[in-house]
Homo-oligomer: A and B are copies of this chain.
Amino acid sequence: MSKPLYFDDLKIGDTFQTATHALDVEQIKAFAQQFDPQPFHLDEAAARESMFGGLAASGWHTAAITMRLLVSSGPPLANGIIGAGGEIEWKAPTRPGDVLQVHSEIVALTPSRSRPDRGLVVLRSNTLNQRGEVVQILTAKLMVPRRTS
């Protein structure tokens, strides 16, 4: 485990890189059956006829894998990765066989005015596939505790 990072330890421009996650057909269909049961996430033939042109993971599946990678091997934020929200953009489909990795950068740091024990960290996370293509950009607002002296 890396040493936990507090708000005061972070600088704009700090970058982090996670481990990788290999996606397969079974994972894509299992997630879709539970949370996004649309033909292009469930059935190869239907997916070929869709605007995806082939089986693609639900965007929410890509987001969930991104979170898994951030929690397991992303920035070791004190108290964990706790988001108030953010923006998400799906740039390209995620496919069976893709190997995903998350590259993150701190883009803003704002001490909380109402809560002196924490700050707001904006973390931009690009989720890349094995060809280095960005499949998702997540710009998340995270609550991170301050060091108390």
User: Of B36, B68, B87, which is within 8 A of A36 by CB?
Assistant: B68
| A99 interfacial by beta-carbon distance below 8 Å | no
- The number of times this chain is found in the oligomer is 2
Chain A, residues 131-149, CB within 8 Å of chain B (1/0): the string is 0000001000001000000
A: which residues have CB within 8 A of B?
31, 34-40, 50-51, 58-60, 63-65, 67-68, 71-72, 79-90, 137, 143
Q: A37-B71, A40-B80, A60-B67 are in contact. List 13 more A-B contacts (CB 8 A).
A: A34-B64, A35-B64, A35-B67, A37-B68, A50-B79, A51-B79, A63-B63, A64-B64, A84-B90, A85-B90, A85-B137, A86-B88, A87-B87
